[in-house]
A and B are shown apart, each in its own frame.
Chain A
Amino acid sequence: MKACQIVSRKFHIDQSYRLETAKEHGAYNTLKEAFALSPVEIIKTIKESGLRGKGGGGAPAGAKWMLMPQDDERSSYLAVNCDESEPGTFKDREIISKDPHLLIEGIIITCYAIKSHDAYIYIRGEYYQFQKILQEAIDEAYTAGILGERVRGEAYRMDITIHRGAGAYICGEKSALLESMEGKRGHPRLKPKQKEPEWYFGNPTLVNNVETIASIPYIIKHGAEGYREFGTERSPGTLLFAMSGHVETPGIYEAEFGTPMFDYINYYGGGIRNGKKLKAVIPGGASTAVLTADEVACATLDYEHMRVVGSALGTGGMIVMDEDTDMVEALKNLLEFYHHESCGQCTPCREGTGWSDTILQRVLDGRGSSEDIDKLLELASIMDGKTICVFAPAVAIVIRSFIGKFRDEFEAKVTA
């Protein structure tokens, strides 16, 4: 396993969240180099690095940055997405609690590149204890003159404000996040008709995941080529992959893209708990198609290969399930999650998530029939591709993959 520490370098250092400690280990060293470059040069570097958004979608970060206007009367904003609500995902909290200064450093460089002076970190409401660590780090940075009117003596004002969510999974969707930051309900917006930045109170805005922004200092320091030393041609770099469920040592382990999934699980996760056999893995947060043990054996952790096996890399948060797992119960668990979290704005999602949950409950109560299983698949196709955002299509993927790959378990429940 190739060791890589693009964002996790300081995770194991005691009190690395403190400015003094972080600085001893090189925090904020890249600011000088970054300010020596022009904003356009930084964006070019990010584009060449092939950095992909690490919040789940995997869209090229550079292309997103290029949508931000370099000459505009309006203020530009950066919103850092730390909503981290995708089940199986818990990586951003590692960054904000173990190396918040790396994030701050990344924010400063990003803002300089997109000519923004105001960044917000949208953090899920439950993460309050981690938010406090991050806020202390920000306060320390203000005191040290890293943030504020002049960033390290440069003629550049930089303010970072933490914006706390309050329990809504959908706010991880970037337009819902901005709605929430505008003080509204987290309803995703209708998609724009052409490529354009996001908008915050009508101002051009960039939304990036915490880990994406935390990767920026490394790229500035080591250049695009340095970043490309890790990963594959089309999925360069690394990801803070996460593992939970039935493994011996669950947790967060940074690995390069292209790492075989099975090796990752065995090497970092210590294999399946209690010597059991592997049954399935949800590879990239709950909203990606579940993989069978056979598929896991040939899956590698990068965007392209995960597509080949019919799933997606997503957030890289793997939920590992052993041979004893009841896949019907597992799907029910996820459908309850989606039912609870649907924002309710548009019909197919609002009604479809609840209805599929109700049907599966019927199956589990022993009141179901084979038609109910087909009805779930039908609901999946109704929910797919007809909604404002990708929430309902994700539910469709989950339903299809569970029933498609484990139909016998579902049938057993309705014939028993």
Chain B
Amino acid sequence: MSQIDIVIDNMTFTAEKGSLLIDLLIKHDLKVPYFCYHEALGADGNCRMCMVEIEGQKRPQIACDTLIKEEMVVRTKGENIDGVRRDILELELINHPIDCPVCDQAGECKLQDFYMDYGLYESNIKQSDKVHHRKHIDLGSSVILDQERCVLCARCTRFTSDITKTHELGIIGRGDHACVSTMPGKKLDNPYAMNIVDLCPVGALTSKDFRFQQRVWFLTSSPSICHGCAKGCNIFIDHNREKYKDETIYRFRPRENQQVNGFFICDEGRLSYKKLQDNRQLDMILNGKSCEEAEALEAYRNLLEAGSGKIVILADANLYTEELEMIQIYAQKLGATLSSPMVSDLDDAFADEWLKSSQRASNAKAIEKLGIMTDLPDEKIALLINFNHPNTVSIDAERVISFRTNQQKEPADLILPLAVFSESSGTLTNEDGIEQYCPKVITRNDPAPTVIEWMIRCQEEVE
């Protein structure tokens, strides 16, 4: 395929001959409305919104079904084409309930966006004349369907038939009675189901987990990396700090990265944001009682100096590489054995061929690269310092210091709260060796220290 020049809105663009016009328009941010097209799902041509004018063609053409060819001259705007889009939009809205005030999609709804761009007409359609469909259907997998808000773009059904190949959804019926549905009595049930909520351009599919929690225009989207497994799927963390409240994460959404996760993430990863907020370890606990930081640091030093014997440090393989490096240096300094036991992390029940890795530790590759051992020394342990390792192996130690993000049952002499990944920053290396930087997103009112902050504080006291 050769690169050719074409003209769009009096500007020249270079594109691959035979490629889709709509991809070029999207790439260069040339405004074109569309519902059914999606880069992951391809063209379907059903919504008819992405109309453009092409010189030499007597009728407007849809950009998602137009192949780029030599000497093409395209117009994406102007009175004529805006009128065409307005007309089709009006039809999309004919049987739509126009319930934006109570719709959870409001603010990120393509119908709303396009209405502001091309619509702005007076409607004289009476509610009583509309075709009515079923509302708030619990499809399963935490997805709620409102058939009346649906524009039948078939993105969700194409996702379940072409991407997950689980075939739970389909458009049934005919004409303006057509609607998205599962088989009667059957549920939407696949580990990626909630992606259809993101795919849905309107308020037809909403997340049971997110709906009515927050208006989207209050949310800030920050890029991050999912820590659910070693795949390292790219995500957005959508968060907000309401007045007088703490910074809160409302949802994870997939962020496109063709090298890693494409357009999607798994549901388990999507819902894993809860772990960043629920059941957090907030207090410093010394011998079962809350204490102040000065007391805790003194206790730390005392535990460290309480006697000779083997010191073992456990490090969670979800910690950032920078944190692991610092722990590694610290271990050398203490003459301690550093380990990140792996065995319990392999999860075949979770794994699949796509985005879910059996290696649940998101930075396991860094453990390997840093040469950190992954089995436990079987000698007698005098002091165990655990950096958030989900230690399920019963380790018999005389004294235990535990840095924790979340509350755990395992007893420890000293428990110190630790920042979760969204409250810290650093690098992860995914299972394919791709290094990805993860910025700090959340600043809590009363932040738990990060590993690095703890290291500094603890070592200041030691020296």
Residues of A within 8 A of B (CB): 168, 190, 193, 339-348, 350-355, 358, 362, 371, 381-382, 385-388
Contact = CB atoms under 8 A, between A and B. Distances in A.
11 contacts: A347-B46, A347-B48, A347-B49, A347-B152, A348-B87, A350-B176, A354-B95, A381-B87, A385-B59, A386-B87, A386-B88
B131 interface: yes
B88 A190 contact: no
B48 A386 contact: yes
A341 B173 CA distance: 11
B99 interface: no
A26 B237 CA distance: 79
A354 B46 contact: no
B175 A350 contact: yes
B177 interface: yes
B409 interface: no
> What 8 A-B pairs come out closest when comparing CB atoms?
A344-B178, A351-B91, A354-B176, A342-B175, A382-B87, A385-B59, A344-B175, A190-B45
A343 B176 CA distance: 8
Given A343-B174, A354-B176, A358-B129, 8 more contacts: A341-B175, A344-B175, A344-B176, A351-B92, A352-B91, A353-B175, A354-B175, A381-B87
Contacts of A340: 175
A355 B131 CA distance: 10
A195 to B, nearest CB: 15
A350 B84 contact: no
A381 B90 CA distance: 13
Given A351-B95, A352-B91, A362-B129, A345 B176 contact: no
A339 B176 contact: yes
Contacts, number: 80
B131 A354 contact: yes
A193 B67 contact: yes
A344 B49 CA distance: 15
A355 B91 contact: yes
A345 B43 CA distance: 13
Nearest to A382: B87
Given A386-B60, A386-B84, A344 B174 contact: yes
Q: Which of B48, B88, B176 has the largest number of chain A CB atoms within 10 A?
A: B176
A351 B45 CA distance: 16
B48 A353 contact: no
Interface in B83-97: 84, 87-88, 90-92, 94-95
Interface of B: 43, 45-49, 51, 59-60, 65, 67, 84, 87-88, 90-92, 94-95, 124, 129, 131, 151-152, 171, 173-178
Contact of B176 (A193, A353, A385, A387): A353
A199 B223 CA distance: 45
Contacts of B84: 386
Contacts of B65: 190
A362 B131 CA distance: 15
B66 to A, nearest CB: 9
B175 A343 contact: yes
A405 B200 CA distance: 44
B88 A388 contact: no
Contacts of A190: 43, 45, 65
Nearest to A351: B91
A346 B48 contact: yes
A347 B175 contact: no
Q: Which of B48, B59, B94, B174 has the largest number of chain A CB atoms within 10 A?
A: B174
Contacts of A385: 59-60
A385 B48 CA distance: 11
A345 B151 CA distance: 10
B45 A347 contact: no
A342 B152 CA distance: 14
Given A382-B87, A382-B88, A386-B59, A348 B48 contact: yes
B91 A348 contact: yes
B384 to A, nearest CB: 63
B280 to A, nearest CB: 48
Contact of A382 (B45, B67, B91): B91
A75 to B, nearest CB: 26
B152 A344 contact: yes
A185 to B, nearest CB: 8
A353 B49 CA distance: 18
Nearest to B177: A344
A370 to B, nearest CB: 13
B87 A345 contact: no
A110 B174 CA distance: 34
A355 B90 CA distance: 11
A352 B91 CA distance: 7
Contacts of A353: 175-176
A263 B173 CA distance: 44
Contact of A386 (B43, B51, B131, B173): B51
A199 to B, nearest CB: 16
Given A347-B151, A351-B94, A382-B91, A339 B47 contact: no
Nearest to B87: A382
A399 B171 CA distance: 29
B121 to A, nearest CB: 11
A388 B59 contact: no
Nearest to A186: B174
Contacts of A350: 152, 175-176, 178
B88 A348 contact: yes
A342 B176 CA distance: 8
Q: Which of A348, A351, A352, A381 has the largest number of chain B CB atoms within 10 A?
A: A351
B92 A388 contact: no
A385 B51 CA distance: 11
A190 B46 CA distance: 9
A338 B61 CA distance: 24
A352 B88 CA distance: 9
B47 A346 contact: yes
Contacts of B173: 344
Contacts of A341: 174-175
Contacts of A358: 129
Contacts of A371: 124
Contacts of A355: 91, 94
A388 B46 contact: yes
A395 B131 CA distance: 20
Contact of B46 (A342, A346, A382): A346
Contacts of B91: 347-348, 351-352, 355, 382
A190 to B, nearest CB: 5
A381 B59 CA distance: 12
Given A193-B67, A351-B91, A355-B94, A342 B174 contact: yes
Nearest to A168: B174
A350 B48 CA distance: 12
B114 to A, nearest CB: 12
A387 B173 CA distance: 19
